[in-house]
Amino acid sequence: MASQAYDAVHWYMEEVGARVVAKTGIPSDRHHLGKLILHSLQDDPDFIFQMDGATGESETFGSALDRSIRCAVSLTNMGLKKGDVMVLMGPNHIHFSVPHNAALYLGIMVACVDATLGVNNHYTTLSQLLKVDDAAIKNFRPTDFDPAETVAYLTSTSGTTGVPKTAMLTHKNLSIGIRYIWIEFSKFPTPTRMVIVTSPAQWLSAGFHYLFSPIMKYTRLQTSATVTPEHFGELVNKYKPTYILISPTLMTTMMSKAKCDFNCFENIQVGGSAVTQEFLADLKKITNAKIYILYGMSEVSGPTLQQDESTQPGSYGRPIGGLELKLVDPKTYRVITEPHVPGELWYRGPSVFKGYYNNEEMTKETLTEDGWLKSGDILYRDEAWNLFFVERYKLLLKYRNHQVSPSEVESVIMKHPGVFQVAVTGIPDRECGDLVVACVVPKSGCSPSAQEIKDLVKGGVVF
């Protein structure tokens, strides 16, 4: 049996980085995502870059290059510069990547947020940003900066406990961390023909492909419509995507309701919530694809464990090569050296995030002084360092595409005059992830109804 070329993605990324450095003469540019993307788009102008399955629109590398440079010139003319923040909201249409890439060229931080939040009336349209003189396009040069210090993404994350936070991921964090998604692949460029993106744009799992589809040179299939089972089935049957990264909850829905042939997929990666053996067994019944669990966290810019065909059943995999890893007792901070003893997983390495945006207190709680990141997850290992998930030490719940803070919901419910105490937790659900449940202790002589509590939460918590 042939052995797996686990280093192929690293060889390829070093080659792309070396070509960029040869042009610029700046060694650190091998981690400058803006320059890596710009170089890749220039390399093959006729390659189909992206497709919107809802409208049938498609775009080449050449078109995306032209539009993103025009946008970058306009942003510069507006006074935006390295260190500023750009908030992007919208569905996964082919226009989304234009300001996204432009910001990366300039060192502007990209913060993708939920498109359902709404906007005020003061904004600039993309068509306005693309009205740029051709001479300015020819003279455009991306901004020089240190990729290790310059933040590329501000991404929503659960952190350890409490309300959702915003992790600061640098260009270097992401350029190193995301490549481990492709650790099982041996052919570069174009490790797979077409990736279908089902995550909303504000999730880092979508960002993986917005960032790396031009660098890895594969076509990104997305949709500006809601990803219903009916629409998903239409996309799969029409375009035959070869790769998908999807949550087990969404895949459970698609397996039961989408009318399509899953055998077009060559590789399926599942992650974002707990993956059971029952789920994997059901998935293997409908596809011949290679199936892997993608275990990681936003604060580490991608995967932290890797699986292969020898991975033990129930294990999420072994540590990737780019991170130091240890298991620690979360109460005593004793490093656990014995197998089969649960502990909190800690990481240290070049893909570990810079900290939480405007939240120094939580940064200090999550990152130790010597650079170790506390994951908030409890796992144990066997003698061969296969790691097995036990439970979340952190509290944040995940309901479909929403992050729900139990403490935030509790604070709203406590405003009810008839509530004495409340505890909020989650019940595991195959389709929804966590079903949020409130256990209410009423005040003496009071009888708050379930509907009153629901109405209070509905009006007081923003999901």
Q: Given this model, what pLDDT does residue 311 score?
A: 85
204-216 and 8-24 helices, crossing angle to 10°: 70
Q: Given this model, what pLDDT does residue 331 score?
A: 85
Low-confidence winner among 16-25, 151-160, 260-269, 297-306 (lowest mean pLDDT): 151-160
Q: How far is CA 201 from the centre of its chain?
A: 9
Whose CA is closest to 169, among 85, 110, 87?
110
| CA dist., res. 189 & res. 352, Å (int) | 26
248-257 and 229-239 helices, crossing angle to 10°: 80
H/E run at residue 40: helix 33-43
Q: Given this model, what pLDDT does residue 62 score?
A: 98
Contact 211, 178 (CB under 8 A): yes
406-413 and 450-460 helices, crossing angle to 10°: 120
Q: How does strand 85-89 pair with strand 58-60?
A: unpaired
Contact 134, 165 (CB under 8 A): no
Q: Name the percent of the chain lying above pLDDT 70.
A: 94
Determine the average pLDDT of the residues in 18-40.
Answer: 98
Q: Where are the beta strands (DSSP E) in 159-298?
A: 165-170, 194-196, 219-222, 243-246, 267-270, 290-293, 296-297
Whose tokens are 């890893």? That residue is 325
CATH number, domain 398-460, options 3.30.300.30, 3.40.50.1470, 2.60.40.420, 3.30.365.10:
3.30.300.30
Residue 157 has pLDDT above 90, yes or no: no
Burial tier of 33 (Cβ tally within 10 Å: 0-12, 13-18, 19+): buried
What's this model's pTM, rounded to 2 decimal places? 0.85
Q: What is the pLDDT of residues 136-150, one digit of tens each?
A: 888 999 999 999 999
| Number of Cβ within a 10 Å radius of residue 436 | 18
For the chain, the domains span 8-391, 398-460
Matching CATH topology for 8-391 and 398-460? no
Q: Please, which pLDDT band fits residue 421 given cuts at 50, 70 and 90?
A: confident
Residue 462 has pLDDT above 60, yes or no: no
Contact 373, 367 (CB under 8 A): yes
| CA dist., res. 16 & res. 7, Å (int) | 15
Residue 14 has pLDDT above 70, yes or no: yes
Q: What is the pLDDT of residues 184-194, one digit of tens each?
A: 999 999 999 99
97-106 and 61-77 helices, crossing angle to 10°: 60
| Number of Cβ within a 10 Å radius of residue 144 | 13
Instruction: Give me the CATH topology for the region 8-391.
Output: Rossmann fold (3.40.50)
Residue 27 has pLDDT above 90, yes or no: yes
CA distances from 347 to 23, 183, 319, 457 (A): 34, 19, 10, 36
Residue 420 has pLDDT above 50, yes or no: yes
| CA dist., res. 307 & res. 305, Å (int) | 7
Q: What is the pLDDT of residues 117-131, one digit of tens each?
A: 766 666 677 788 888
Determine the average pLDDT of the residues in 322-342.
Answer: 95
Highest mean pLDDT, choosing among 211-220, 290-299, 305-314, 315-324: 211-220
Highest mean pLDDT, choosing among 157-161, 233-237, 435-439: 233-237
Beta bridge partners of residue 441, listed in sequence order: 421
Q: What is the pLDDT of residues 57-115, one digit of tens each?
A: 999 999 999 999 999 999 999 999 999 999 998 899 999 999 999 999 999 999 998 87
List phi, psi (to 5°) of 30.
-65, -15
Q: What is the pLDDT of residues 344-388, one digit of tens each?
A: 999 999 999 999 999 999 999 999 999 999 999 989 999 999 999
- Tokens representing 81? 């510069």
Strands of 402-404's sheet in order across: 402-404, 397-399, 433-442, 419-429
Q: Given this model, what pLDDT does residue 120 score?
A: 61
Residue 432 has pLDDT above 80, yes or no: yes
| CA dist., res. 362 & res. 364, Å (int) | 5
Which amino acid type is present at position 45?
P
Residue 2 has pLDDT above 50, yes or no: no
Beta bridge partners of residue 269, listed in sequence order: 245, 292
DSSP 47-82: SEEEEETTT--EEEHHHHHHHHHHHHHHHHHTT--T
Contact 297, 375 (CB under 8 A): yes
H/E run at residue 22: helix 8-24
Report the length, in residues, of the chain: 463
Q: What is the pLDDT of residues 255-270, one digit of tens each?
A: 999 999 999 999 999 9
| Number of Cβ within a 10 Å radius of residue 369 | 6
Q: Given this model, what pLDDT does residue 4 score?
A: 59
Contact 190, 219 (CB under 8 A): no
Coil, strand or helix at 379: strand
